[in-house]
Amino acid sequence: MMTISEKALEKRREQYAPGTRVELVSMSDPYTKLKPGERGSVKEVDDTGTIFVSWDSGSGLGVVYGVDEIKLVPPVPEDVREQIMAIRKMPGCPNMFDCNAVQVFAALRYST
């Protein structure tokens, strides 16, 4: 395991603040069920530089500094977020995880 300098730790904590969305690129743990492409939200960065993530799959496995790799997931633009929230409030809104149904529902609602 690599050691992290105070400056690098500070930068890492700024870049991966709690709540930041991340995507797994690679993980060296041979026992993990996490796969590249899985996403989650940062919980904290500890003093060793390990980033603890609350993975959407339910795992809480940390991303080890200098060993594992993640990337930032860009935030949803505010106008898109507002449209999503408006759709969620509409009567008859489908399950928001059913992307195809939501697209059809939104197209029908916004085309009239």
Domain boundaries, position 45: 6-72
The reply to whether the predicted model has a pTM over 0.75 is: no
CA distances from 108 to 63, 76, 90, 103 (A): 42, 23, 12, 9
* Same domain as 82, residue 67: no
pLDDT at 112 over 60: no
pLDDT band at 83 (very low <50, low <70, confident <90, very high): confident
Task: Please check whether residues 63 and 40 belong to one and the same domain.
Answer: yes
Residues 31, 84 within the same domain: no
Could you tell me if 55 and 87 lie in one domain? no
- Residue 85 and residue 56 share a domain: no
pLDDT tens digits, 11-52: 999 999 999 999 999 999 999 999 999 999 999 999 999 999
Residues 22 and 43 in one domain: yes
Q: Does one domain contain both 16 and 67? A: yes
For range 54-62, the mean pLDDT: 95
1 in a domain, yes or no? no
Q: Are 32 and 57 within one domain?
A: yes
Average pLDDT over residues 59-73: 95
- Band of residue 78 on the pLDDT scale cut at 50, 70, 90: confident
Q: Report d(CA 12, CA 57) in Å as an integer.
A: 24
Instruction: pLDDT band for 60, please (50, 70, 90 cuts).
Output: very high
